[in-house]
Every structure is written in C-alpha cells, then in structure tokens.
Amino acid sequence: MASEQEILSGLAEIVNEETGLPTDSVQADKSFTDDLDIDSLSMMTIVVNAEEKFGVRIPDEDVKNLRTVGDAVAYISQAQG
C-alpha cells in the first residue's frame, strides 16, 4: 500500500507526463479543471494511467466526483485499502 504522499507524487508524475505541468504544481488543493486546466480527454488518460500505476479501478461515474488532486489521492488510497 502506498502512503497518501506516495500516491500524490505518483499522480503528479502522471499529470506531468500528460500535461507537461511541473510535478510540484500538482498539489492536493488544486482543481483538475480550474487550476490545472486539464480537459476531459486528458483526465481520462490520467485515470487510465493511475489505475495501471496504483492497481485500482476508478469507474467513470466516480471520476466526475474527483474535483481536486486531493480527492483523487483519497479515492485511490481508499480503493487500495
């Protein structure tokens, strides 16, 4: 099981690969759409890569509830639980 900090840094790497944003800009309080300007296609790519990286499943109906990076970290952490 990864710690929330490990999930955050892993997620930051995925976001960086997809968007080119620096990893240190990917912080728990940032909104994927409003702060990081991530469109729906990029968000789905990030979700697919996160599922692969963390060995979890994030159904489409749950993706729309992941507003911030922190929401995603908490979701992945719980799904790994």
Q: Give the footprint of another protein on this chain (CB under 8 A).
A: 17-20, 41, 44-45, 48, 51-52, 57
Taking the complex as a whole, the smallest distance from the CB of residue 18 to another protein amounts, in Å, to 7
DSSP string, 55-77: T----HHHHTT--BHHHHHHHHH
CA distance 28 to 52: 21
**Residue 4 or 52 having the CB closest to another protein:** 52
**Residue 20 or 29 having the CB closest to another protein:** 20
**Residue 7 or 47 having the CB closest to another protein:** 47
